[in-house]
Amino acid sequence: ELRRPVPFAPATRTLALASSGAGTLVWSEAGLTVIGGHANWPLGPRIAASRDEELRVLAALARSLEGPVLLLADLNVTAFSPAFDDLLARSRLADCSAGRGWHPTWPALFPPAWLQIDHCLHSVDVAVDHVRTGPWNGSDHYPVVIEGRLNAARDRSTRRR
């Protein structure tokens, strides 16, 4: 589920992601493309391989787009996984949380097992100012809240090939 608080400043967007089922959503507004997704759980080698293929498809989609891109998704993978590293390399997106601490998202109601499996990735055209875990909203995942802006210094027509 993608939520957009209203109103928001013209140069700033705040988006939150909470899991709501499998699939991919592509949404564009004001020159920003947001990809939302939910990858398979990695339960066993066959399903983990399926999840890894879903991550490769998301990477190819993100890489094929022009202009500023955010990928907001329950990837069912932590930032410590080789599958996550592969997603970053293939998509040429950066992790919004990199260098900004740990933001656990799941399982919301069992802190001893907290993992960060819901992620925000961004293209070079997006400047991320803040990342945080949002408040509990009834889901088994906490939302990820990102505050940022379009980076006007970048050429937004540049492809990430």
Give the pLDDT mean for 57-68.
93
Does the pLDDT value for residue 157 go beyond 60? Answer: no
pLDDT at residue 110 in the model: 94
Give the pLDDT mean for 94-104.
94
pLDDT at residue 13 in the model: 38
CB-CB neighbours of 154 under 10 Å:
15
pLDDT at residue 153 in the model: 54
pLDDT at residue 31 in the model: 80
Chain segment 115-153, per-residue pLDDT in tens:
999 999 999 999 999 999 999 999 999 999 988 888 765
Chain segment 6-32, per-residue pLDDT in tens:
333 333 333 433 333 345 566 666 688
Total-model pTM: 0.79
| Non-local CB neighbours of 118 within 8 Å, separated by 6+ positions | 17, 18, 19, 72, 73, 74, 75, 105, 106, 141, 142, 143, 144
Inter-residue contact 74 to 118 (CB < 8 Å): yes
Peptide bond into 42 cis (omega under 30): no
